[in-house]
Structure 1
Amino acid sequence: MLTWTLWCGSLFLLCLYFLWSRRRFYLLTRKLPGPLGYPILGMAHMLMNKEADILNGFGRLQDEYGPIIFSWLGPIPFLLVSDPQVVQDIFTSPHCVNKGIIYKAVDDGVGTGLFSMHDPRWSLHRKLLNPAFAHKVLLSFLPIFNRETALLLDELKTLQDDGEKNLVPVLQSFTLGIATQTTMGSDVKSQENLMSKSLLDQYQCILENMTDMCFSPWLNSRFVRQLLGRESHYSQAKTEVRQFTKKLIEKHLSENQKETIDKNIFLNLAADCLRRGVFSWKNVADESNSIVFGAFETTSNAIYYALMLLAMFPNCQERAFEEIKILFPNTGDFEVTYADTQQMVYLDMILNESMRVIPPVPVVSRQTSQDLKLSNGVVIPRGVQIAIDIYHIHRSKEIWGSEAETFNPDHFLPHNIQDKHPYAFIPFTKGIRNCIGWRYALISTKVTLAKLLRNYRFRTSFPFEDLCFVEDIAIKLKTVPLLELQKRI
């Protein structure tokens, strides 16, 4: 009897401590709306798996409760935000630099690099690696962008006037080749695993598993993955990708023992940090994995989605073609300079509108390391997980008007964009922890689109209205529209 009494008393005290320790979070329920969810689970059932239609679920929540929602993911306090001013408060705060806990899956998949690393280590790495993406360095990549796009044009000749095709694998191979040259100093197109597409398959396997682990946290356990029969392929994929990156690093280090031509190339900077004892070998490998993965995956998506949308909206495609034709009167290959990219005003509007309608990363996560006072006066306590819903910010009719959910590059005409909140369009996020490679992505994408649109007209039978987006680390389509290439003259 005494044992039973002690056990009940201990449980009661534990419950009191649990409620006391979370009293500050419950105060938020008086200030911010949101669903209570289920007992114990909260609203975690929405994130159980990627088939749960999370993006639409977030949209329904915001329709009901507004652009700032507080709830619980099991025992974890959770904030969902689609208000640009609150997003600015979060992205510019030194207390919200750390990524959310869901990014543990990224650590497992590609290693702990700039994408998921916590402060203060992140601040050090970012400062050391920033020079690799300086303007003068990006300009030095233009010959690579031009040369590789010329090779892409040759490859596409076999597909022209041959019906609708899936160009995603072609573009992924293309952008991976560029990424390894510009960041790792190695041309890998002739490697057997890239030519056979097996390396791209392994990258996709890792991405799919990371996404599943984000939405099903129990899959972060290797033991659970083994029980479900998912560990073998995932582990093999990680091994092949990391061996690929390791060979690139070792090759580069062996060939560049002395002072390099450009010390600001990414791998040169990382290798210098290794020699000075600032980075470990694991730091170099993890940062290299992260930067290559980020550079090729998001860039290939940006190119494909822009082409897809232009195929669905041919009037916009013809307007872009006329702008490019003035700069480059003849078909075939041509050199695109940085000055040329600055003159492609309408193409710039198209690319921005494409990333508005289909943001490269639809939802990003942060967590508060200290109490954060928002500009509306609400204090967000330390330890809150925050999801910034970029997808619905970009599609808000209150911000972008009645055509917010369709593709219209005129959204980025100067008189239409000048009064928008600076955080109403954040395809690469903003603030303290913005994407280190955003300028790289824009320049390489514009060079590629200019050459492709000058040489080909893109068509598709897939209607815009049937596009179905799937929440992922990088946004995906449930069904990828096929594209037909018709040769321009």
Structure 2
Amino acid sequence: MDLILCIILVALLVLYYLWTRREFYKLSMKFPGPLGYPLIGIALKLSHNGVVLKLLRTYIKKYGNIFVSWLGPFPMLIVSDPQVTRDILTSPNCVNKSFFYKIVDDSLGKGLITLHDSDWTKHRKILNPAFSHKMLLSFFPIFNKETGILLKEFNKLADGEERDILPCLQLFTLSIATQTTMGTCVKEDPKFQDNSIVVHFKWLLECASDIMHSPWLYYPIIRQILGKEEQFVKSKIYASTFITKIVDQKLSEDIKDETPCNNNSVLNLAIHQFKRGTFDRKDVEDESCVMVGAAAETSSNAVAFTLMLLAMFPEYQEKAFGEIQALFPKAGDFSISYEDIQQMVYLDLVLNECLRLIPPVPIVARQTSQPVRLSSGVVIPKGMQIIINIFEMQRRKDIWGEEAESFNPDHFLPHNFQDIHPYGFIPFTKGIRNCIGWRYGLLSIKLTLAKLLRNYKFSTSFNFKNLEYVENVTMKLATMPLLKFEQRN
């Protein structure tokens, strides 16, 4: 009798579970996809770093650019279609990030990247002035000074040998990020001088990526058993103390309360809200850590990937060099203004093409807070996890042509780009919750590229066809190609 009761109870629980998810199952009939195994869905297939992009490409070939799958008990709509992407990113009912990002909260803190509405709306409004046009113009002296220092470092490395330039660029972008977003130079900090802070930020992102792909790793006890907790905690504490020291230094400067800060840096704006009681101390540190980590990581990658692609395609490198040489006939260190940046039209094409092929963040995820009606009339139920595959969408041949998988800046010539769907190219996302620092990123990256390309010719023995792309919180490569660079006159 007890066994029969147990069976009935389990059956009732299963029926209740299926009933509560009936809307998700209806959606899976419209957009069929891989269901995976009972209870765990496709979790096991996604549990290893480096397989997600490949697996999603396999599913796209089988099921199309919109399909439903399951990660454990969580239904997912996986999208690489620009119109559906626009419907999602412009919907007020799909502003919140997916639960997948909870680990980013645990790693870097609760900042603009992961905050839920309405906290996100409040923080975004407060921090918007940090990236106003006036503030961006005020960053140019920092951009120019730091790129001048970077040129000296590159001069030491221009010895005819192929080298990994990413570590050098990571320190460079970290220095810029702390000065622009926090108003503090950290070059005297031992953690900066020995490169350890960059290493620990990188470790945090690696750990966060592992946990994102394996939901069972959200629990510290599981991470401890599997040997992943110690390094995660160590790197988290290391990064936190680095940011805390900067915040303490700023607080000791006694910024006046009567104005919203003469310098509208992220940190100063956050401190102003802290003194007003709008932010607590953790808000200040979390927003600072998120901004520094995001700005440094994405900018260094974008510069490195662009130089890498130009080294692999020297004909485009020479075109970019010719444009920059016309503006700056004399090699060496020179000052670049905002007006100069606007004249670098071909460099725009080059950078956009790099961001198309290798977007800063390959996959973003949202969740519906209320039902969302797509342009097609299909309704996405409340509680749906939505995965937007930017990497795949920006490589679709039916959007970008037969050379969609190859590097060709001509993709962004006006007559080629004018018919591309507005959401077919979203390297910094788009819509209601677009990246707050996208203009900042483009300006700093372009200025850095301009100085490096004017002064050096880059080459590599690594073949473009051998690049292997790996999903992370940010994009990375399985093997980072080594570059050789020689000085130009």
Shorter-chain TM band: over 0.9
Distance in 2 (CA, whole Å) between partners of 1:106 and 1:78 is 19
Q: 1:174 aligns with which of 172, 175, 182?
A: 172
For residue 6 of structure 1, report the CA deviation from its aligned partner: 3.3
Contact 2:80 2:388 in 1 (8 A): yes
Contact 2:312 2:463 in 1 (8 A): yes
Instruction: Report the TM-score when normalising by structure 2.
Output: 0.98
Deviation digits for residues 27-46 of structure 1 (CA, Å, limit 9, x no counterpart):
11221121232222222222
User: Partner of 2:45: helix, strand, or coil?
Assistant: helix
For residue 205 of structure 1, report the CA deviation from its aligned partner: 1.1
Partner of 2:79: 81
Partner of 1:407: 407
For residue 153 of structure 1, report the CA deviation from its aligned partner: 0.4
Partner of 1:341: 341
Instruction: Give the letter aligned to residue 300 of structure 2.
Output: S
The structure-2 alpha-carbon separation of the partners of 1:180 and 1:87, relative to structure 1 and needing over 3 Å to count, comes to same
User: Partner of 1:391: helix, strand, or coil?
Assistant: helix
For residue 120 of structure 1, report the CA deviation from its aligned partner: 1.1
Partner of 2:244: 246
- Whether 1:152 and 2:150 are equivalent positions in the alignment is yes
Distance in 2 (CA, whole Å) between partners of 1:365 and 1:230 is 24
Distance in 1 (CA, whole Å) between partners of 2:255 and 2:270 is 14
Stretches of structure 2 lacking an aligned partner (at least 5 in a row): none
User: Partner of 2:293: helix, strand, or coil?
Assistant: helix
Partner of 1:15: 14
User: Partner of 1:426: helix, strand, or coil?
Assistant: coil
User: Partner of 2:44: helix, strand, or coil?
Assistant: helix
Partner of 1:32: 31
Instruction: Give the letter aligned to residue 467 of structure 1.
Output: L
Partner of 2:485: 485
- Whether 1:320 and 2:301 are equivalent positions in the alignment is no
Partner of 2:292: 292
Partner of 1:356: 356
Distance in 1 (CA, whole Å) between partners of 2:276 and 2:484 is 52
Q: Which moved more, 1:61-70 or 1:312-321?
A: 61-70
Deviation digits for residues 244-284 of structure 1 (CA, Å, limit 9, x no counterpart):
10010111121243368734211111001101111110111
Instruction: Give the letter aligned to residue 191 of structure 2.
Output: N
For residue 472 of structure 1, report the CA deviation from its aligned partner: 0.7
Instruction: Give the letter aligned to residue 7 of structure 2.
Output: C
Listed as ranges, the matches of 1:383-422 within 5 Å are: 383-422=383-422
Contact 1:100 1:385 in 2 (8 A): yes
For residue 216 of structure 1, report the CA deviation from its aligned partner: 1.1
Contact 2:28 2:67 in 1 (8 A): no
For residue 218 of structure 1, report the CA deviation from its aligned partner: 1.6
For residue 7 of structure 1, report the CA deviation from its aligned partner: 2.7
Partner of 2:369: 369
Listed as ranges, the matches of 1:65-464 within 5 Å are: 65-258=63-256, 262-464=262-464
Distance in 1 (CA, whole Å) between partners of 2:99 and 2:190 is 37
For residue 199 of structure 1, report the CA deviation from its aligned partner: 1.0
Instruction: Give the letter aligned to residue 115 of structure 2.
Output: M
Contact 2:43 2:214 in 1 (8 A): no
Contact 2:204 2:235 in 1 (8 A): yes
For residue 74 of structure 1, report the CA deviation from its aligned partner: 1.9
Distance in 1 (CA, whole Å) between partners of 2:283 and 2:350 is 37
Contact 1:341 1:443 in 2 (8 A): yes
* Aligned alpha-carbon RMSD (Å): 1.2
Distance in 2 (CA, whole Å) between partners of 1:468 and 1:422 is 28
Partner of 1:58: 56
Contact 2:135 2:264 in 1 (8 A): yes
For residue 220 of structure 1, report the CA deviation from its aligned partner: 1.7
Distance in 2 (CA, whole Å) between partners of 1:207 and 1:283 is 20
Q: Percent identity?
A: 55
Distance in 1 (CA, whole Å) between partners of 2:272 and 2:355 is 35
User: Partner of 1:364: helix, strand, or coil?
Assistant: strand
Distance in 2 (CA, whole Å) between partners of 1:351 and 1:191 is 32
Stretches of structure 1 lacking an aligned partner (at least 5 in a row): none
For residue 59 of structure 1, report the CA deviation from its aligned partner: 1.0
Contact 1:303 1:449 in 2 (8 A): yes
Instruction: Report the TM-score when normalising by structure 1.
Output: 0.98
For residue 18 of structure 1, report the CA deviation from its aligned partner: 1.0
Distance in 2 (CA, whole Å) between partners of 1:12 and 1:80 is 30
Instruction: Give the letter aligned to residue 115 of structure 1.
Output: I
For residue 190 of structure 1, report the CA deviation from its aligned partner: 2.1
The structure-2 alpha-carbon separation of the partners of 1:464 and 1:145, relative to structure 1 and needing over 3 Å to count, comes to same
Deviation digits for residues 288-329 of structure 1 (CA, Å, limit 9, x no counterpart):
110000010000000000000000000000000000001101
User: Partner of 2:113: helix, strand, or coil?
Assistant: coil
Instruction: Give the letter aligned to residue 339 of structure 2.
Output: A
User: Partner of 1:486: helix, strand, or coil?
Assistant: strand
Instruction: Give the letter aligned to residue 320 of structure 1.
Output: A
Deviation digits for residues 408-458 of structure 1 (CA, Å, limit 9, x no counterpart):
000000000111100000000000010010000000001100100000001
Contact 1:161 1:487 in 2 (8 A): no
Deviation digits for residues 359-408 of structure 1 (CA, Å, limit 9, x no counterpart):
11000000111111100111110011110000011100000000000000
Contact 2:35 2:70 in 1 (8 A): yes
Distance in 2 (CA, whole Å) between partners of 1:56 and 1:288 is 34
